[in-house]
Structure 1
Amino acid sequence: MIRETASQTAGPYVHIGLAPQQAGFEIFENNFGNVLVTPQTKGERIGIEGRVIDGSGTVVRDVLIEIWQANAEGRYAHPADRQAGKSVDPAFRGWGRACSDFETGLYRFETVKPGPVIGRHARMMAPHINFWIVARGINIGLNTRMYFSDEAAANAADPVINLIEWEVRRKTLIAQREQRDGKVVYRFDIRLQGEDETVFFDI
């Protein structure tokens, strides 16, 4: 009989196994990174950045974050996405992985702004990006979504964000659009606990 092993949070080895380059190890021929685009990728180029903050207000500096999203037309690079009239962009990966900076706690992605996606029951979902967060002290990865501050009308009609009863809680999923040196950056801080805790989804 095989016994169950003890549960353990994602400790310092998470970077060595999943993002070894940031931990100073060159062990993979192809490193999974935070840049989802190439020069040929269609759509509006955007940056996403932020920090993960714990319940005491302290920036967590050893977080690993993965994102996955639709392309600029609103289609995922996955065979299960069968939306009619939308094409896959072969120059767009649609998935990325980043670690927070060990000094500043800042994470960053380079991608394109996704288009709206047709969801369950043929209901249109606002442009959004799916996040998965893992760090020391988190037993099971946390799932959340990031929406865009300049998509207010689409956000108001989104079937997922409307599952959240309180408006103040919905705001924890809205990234703020900024313009820096001619580039668009969306700021999305994730709060693990506390008064402004980010909404997480049980997937």
Structure 2
Amino acid sequence: EAVELGGPAFGVTDVTDLDADLTRQHSGEPLGERITVTGRVLDRGGRPVRGQLVEIWQANAAGRYAHQLDQHPAPLDPHFTGVGRCLTDDAGRYAFTTVKPGAYPWRNHHNAWRPAHIHFSLFGSAFTQRLITQMYFPGDPLFPYDPILASVTDPTARARLVATYAHELTVPERSLGYRWDVVLDGPSATWIEEGR
């Protein structure tokens, strides 16, 4: 039996604006600080990667994932599932509206807490080209205590995992703006999780 390596192909009609706005996916408003996260997906030469499927998942503002395996006693938010997706435009841009995730304990070592982060998954032309990484927020005091971030030993590569606050992306009365670019390959490639 042949194995389908290409997987489903998402087109513009499959991914809606609602998929990229995690604050409007339910009947009520989620709790937490609303944020807009945007950036570009680029190849090693700095060229935009168009039509790229970008998926995110994250904890809620209290640091809890809406997943049965998350047993952290922080509250679930009935108005926030924490998953979204979009396609990059012709300039390689993606954009999500969400809430800033909370830090959470993860029992990896004594008093272990993960810094606030958003997981990103990017697909190339086939689902076999999936890349998974994490975006962090500037100035997080948990950075020195996080073994995942510390595993990125090159300080420049580690710095590329931290988004930049961008006041021009801040939506008045609505959300704070962050910019974070992803480079898929080459010497300036964004760090990806091994074994994914």
TM, length-normalised to structure 2: 0.85
Larger Rg belongs to: 1
Kept after mapping to 2: 8 A contact 1:68/1:129: yes
1:106 equivalent in alignment to 2:75:
no
1:119 equivalent in alignment to 2:106:
yes
AA matched with 1:193:
D
Query: Within 2, Cα distance between the matches of 1:159 and 1:148?
Result: 16
Choose 37-46 or 142-151, whichever is displaced more.
Answer: 37-46
Kept after mapping to 1: 8 A contact 2:86/2:95: yes
The partner residue of 1:20 within 4, 13, 16 is 13
Kept after mapping to 1: 8 A contact 2:161/2:191: yes
Q: Secondary structure at the match of 2:150?
A: helix
AA matched with 1:61:
R
Kept after mapping to 2: 8 A contact 1:146/1:175: yes
How many residues align? The count is: 186
Kept after mapping to 1: 8 A contact 2:54/2:123: yes
Q: Which residue of 2 aligns with 1:192?
A: 184
Query: Within 1, Cα distance between the matches of 2:92 and 2:151?
Result: 31
1:71 equivalent in alignment to 2:60:
yes
Query: Within 1, Cα distance between the matches of 2:121 and 2:4?
Result: 23
Deviations 1:133-182 (A, max 9, x none): 0122773310000001132x222222210111121111121111112353
AA matched with 1:114:
P
Query: Within 1, Cα distance between the matches of 2:47 and 2:86?
Result: 19
Kept after mapping to 2: 8 A contact 1:190/1:198: yes
Computed over aligned residues only, the root mean square deviation of the Cα atoms, in angstroms, reads 2.2
Deviations 1:89-148 (A, max 9, x none): 0011210011111x3221000000000021242510000000100122773310000001
TM, length-normalised to structure 1: 0.83
Matches within 5 A, 1:53-72: 53-72=42-61
Kept after mapping to 1: 8 A contact 2:55/2:84: yes
- Displacement of 1:21: 4.1
AA matched with 1:81:
D
CA gap of 1:21–1:160, structure 2 versus 1, over 3 A, is same
Kept after mapping to 2: 8 A contact 1:147/1:155: no
Query: Within 1, Cα distance between the matches of 2:63 and 2:135?
Result: 15
Q: Secondary structure at the match of 1:96?
A: strand
Q: Secondary structure at the match of 2:191?
A: coil
